[in-house]
Amino acid sequence: MKSSEIRQAFIKYFSDNGHTEVPSSSLVPHDDPTLMYTNAGMNQFKDCFLGAETRPYRRAVTCQKVMRIAGKHNDFENVGVTARHHTFFEMLGNFSFGDYFKADAIKYGWEFVTKVLGIPASKLWVTIFEKDDEAGKLWADLTSVDKQRIIRLGEAENFWTMGDTGPCGPCTEIHYFCGSDESKNTEAMLKAGDSSFLEIWNLVFMQFDRNASGKLTPLPKPSVDTGMGLERVAAVLQNARSNYDSDLLRPIISTCESLSGHRYEGSRFDAPHHGADTQYVHDVAMRVIADHSRAMAAIIADGVLPGSDGRAYILRRIMRRAIRHGQSLGLREPFLRATTGTVISILGDTYPELLQRRDVIERVVEAEERKFHETLDSGLGILKREVEKLSSSEQFPGATAFLLHDTYGFPLDLTQDALKSFGRTIDVAGFEEQMQAQKSRSRDDRKSQNLSFSTLQITVAPTKFLGYDSTEAECTLLQHFPGATADECALVFDSTPFYAESGGQVADTGSIAFGSGKAAVTLEVIDVQKVQDKFFVHYCKAAISTAVDSLLNKKAHLVIDTARRNEIRAHHSATHLVHAALRKVLGTHVKQAGSKVDDSSLRFDYSHFEPVTSVQLSEIQSIVNAEIRENHAVVTKEMPVEEAMKSGAMALFGEKYGSHVRVVHIGPRSLELCGGTHVTRSGDIGFVTIAHEAGIAAGVRRIECLAGRAAYEALVHDQQGQEALASLLKGSREQILDKVEKLQSRVRSLETELEQTRGKLAASAVDDLAKEVHTTPKGIKIISRKVEAADNDTLRSMVDKLRVSIGSGVVVLGAPQGDACVIVAGVTSDLTGSVHAGKLIKAAAEVGGGKGGGRPDFAQAGGVNPAQLSASLAKILEMLS
């Protein structure tokens, strides 16, 4: 069966049995901060299991894209080495949300595997959780599985949890005997984890919710979550030696073969991975590239770009590891475009986002590859040399691994992976230590304080934000903490008009007053941070004291700095207009990669793959300012997240959005999900000017702009600069260009004149010098003098001319240049047999603390101390005598 047929058969079987087909969710979990990447089919249904969400259906079937690369489920290390592990794979799953439970899950599972797929029962085994008697009985009563082949295993194997927290429960797994040696088709071998057995399907009986301390709370309704690895089933049904020989992966391996000219042998797995076994090294490399190409294509298609932290860094690690393995296949030129191209041709029909974003995938992989190639060779060279220095038992030093990470862009796991072929491990603790040291060097006090706040138990109700409509309010103080320094404190109120730093927008500042008149206590608010996404912590310039203590549960008057807020608003709304203009001018592949908005500037990072021309920049600036002059009303609306997405609102990939979101609409083309504060009409922005635009990483660029007052001030500053320049040039601002051009041409003609004059002076100096010939006792004619020469060339040409006029002899001239002196020596060709200009000059330079050397007939020295110039020249005379 082809993999596409297996997918279809699965969906059809479960649809026929009353399941609703639900599309795969993105690899970037939109609503789950506990997950880096989607790691199971059940992720998108997590809230259904927890009873927090109900859907119009109680049975679902999916084919889900998943990644097993971070957190609890991480197979990164195994990829390439084993026949069956992947970072990215497709998971076929059927789900029941409080509908059917164990009996039907087991019946469906068995029927699908044996009847629809036609896998013989003689090849199948099932495992159950050791305490789950019910599952054992159901398997025995409801299916034809051999009772001897219902095996009990412990929690590690047969109790499934999504992560450290979340829905979980006992599970039962279907295993396939894929070995050729029938004597291994036994319970003992299965229990020993022998590679003759392949787990193909996991049926989880979701019964509990696990909290952070490990406590299990029963779910409202027992449910079912199953997951079958498509690649594994395809390998079984296609009689392939491994997943890599299935129709999902083999074409990518073939691409590697034709790019590298190496053959894929592909029958050995789990072997020691040493450099001498070239065929095995090549096999592993092709498998890694095949797996990772799928992962990177799928991740990029879901909107992630490689970067330096979190999800983006995981993508970078995957890409760099693939590139490193490409190098071991001898691939010197970028190759990921070809391998991801094969991925798109295999998976594009099932996941159309791959086809839609082909262009982005190609550009991102190529940019990353070019970037990493710049340092890959040097990094690997350092790695090799370091290994050679180690004694046989020594670990690879953490400090070198850190250098490779920090300077050469080697993720730790890439270094670990590369060291496998040398049989070495890294001193990871040493590496971590260096990392920590670097972090603490760069950590800012308040930020670290925030980290500790994020773990604080704030026990009060979430803070109500009033700042969209108000700039001041009466609010009650509910809790307080000491601040980052002794003269700061941090306060939490029931509500607040202060915006807390988020979504790239800085926090409001302002003041808080308790009481009034003489008895009033006024605190200055210098920063506001959100903790656990719901408490607004106000950092104030005031020592926490008993005075503050007595204010608990008292009302205070909170006022933000409105003028500053207005400037922040202008910059934030301007950011939306800039974003929309970028997409209009550069293309819709432009996606926000980060932003920073404050009262004096805005910074917007975005995906784009080539330099932006000055023509494009002025077009962007002109569009933005036209939108401002149109004076559009800025409309903000709360709506369900699905509705917002449907309306085409720009959202940040991977950003956590609640079920209701705020959508900000400005003019005809800007519609964004955004929690920030905005102007009322676009005209309030005033004016926007682009201050700077440049690339900051592979495929990511940054534009910086000024809006409102800051833009006006920049303009005034420029005008004043021009005025000053104009008055310096004794003209008007309009005449500056013309005057500067004239100045430049005058400078050019003066330079020519100067050069000619110098030439004449040098010629007459040469004439004078030619008269100063001495003869050494050995009869060698010599001219040796300190002269004033403007530059090296003049000095050299003087020596040349004197060499001609002297006929036979040695010419040595020294001249001060800057802080040091230069000495040039020339020897006529008849004498070079006995006198070596290079040697003369070297010795002379040493006397004067400089350095020099050259040919037998012509040489030069520099760096000679001016006070020693005479001594240096004397040294030459002495040598010649």
The binding site for ligand SER (CB under 6 A) comprises 40-42, 93, 160, 202, 204, 225-227
Which residues have a Cβ under 8 Å from the Cβ of 531 and sit 6 or more positions away? 450, 453, 454, 456, 458, 537
| Strands across the sheet containing 670-673 | 634-640, 660-666, 670-673
Per-position b or e across 808-846, b if 16+ CB within 10 A of its CB:
ebbbbbbbebeebbbbbbbbbeebeeebbbbebbbbbbb
CB of 226 to ligand SER, least distance (A): 5
Looking up tokens 């100096």, which residue turns up? 765
Cα–Cα distance measured from residue 647 to residue 213, given in angstroms and rounded to the nearest whole number = 41
What is the biggest distance separating any 2 CA atoms in the chain, rounded to whole angstroms? 121
Which residues have a Cβ under 8 Å from the Cβ of 48 and sit 6 or more positions away? 54, 55, 95, 97, 223
CB of 459 to ligand SER, least distance (A): 35
Indicate the residue among 157 and 693 with the shorter CB distance to ligand SER.
157
Indicate the residue among 168 and 802 with the shorter CB distance to ligand SER.
168
Strand 700-707 versus strand 688-697 pairing type: antiparallel
Indicate the residue among 46 and 632 with the shorter CB distance to ligand SER.
46
CB of 40 to ligand SER, least distance (A): 4
Contact of 87 with 69, CB cutoff 8 Å: yes
CB of 95 to ligand SER, least distance (A): 8
**How far is residue 254 from each of residues 247, 257, 287, 553, measured CA to CA in Å?**
11, 5, 11, 70
Tell me which residue has its CB nearest to ligand SER. Answer: 227
- Cα R_g (the chain), whole angstroms: 37
CB of 99 to ligand SER, least distance (A): 16
Residue 10: CB atoms within 10 Å: 22
Residue 520: CB atoms within 10 Å: 11
Burial class (CB in 10 A: 0-12, 13-18, 19+), 474: exposed
Indicate the residue among 106 and 700 with the shorter CB distance to ligand SER.
106
CB of 162 to ligand SER, least distance (A): 7
CB of 324 to ligand SER, least distance (A): 29
| Distance, CA of 258 to chain centre | 31
Indicate the residue among 46 and 801 with the shorter CB distance to ligand SER.
46
Indicate the residue among 40 and 705 with the shorter CB distance to ligand SER.
40
Indicate the residue among 67 and 650 with the shorter CB distance to ligand SER.
67
Indicate the residue among 225 and 599 with the shorter CB distance to ligand SER.
225
Strand 592-597 versus strand 602-607 pairing type: antiparallel
CB of 35 to ligand SER, least distance (A): 12
Cα–Cα distance measured from residue 382 to residue 401, given in angstroms and rounded to the nearest whole number = 10
Indicate the residue among 84 and 363 with the shorter CB distance to ligand SER.
84
Burial class (CB in 10 A: 0-12, 13-18, 19+), 476: middle
CB of 12 to ligand SER, least distance (A): 19
Indicate the residue among 40 and 322 with the shorter CB distance to ligand SER.
40
CB of 299 to ligand SER, least distance (A): 19
Burial class (CB in 10 A: 0-12, 13-18, 19+), 658: exposed
CB of 42 to ligand SER, least distance (A): 5
Helix (H, G, I), strand (E, B) or coil at 374: helix
Indicate the residue among 66 and 652 with the shorter CB distance to ligand SER.
66
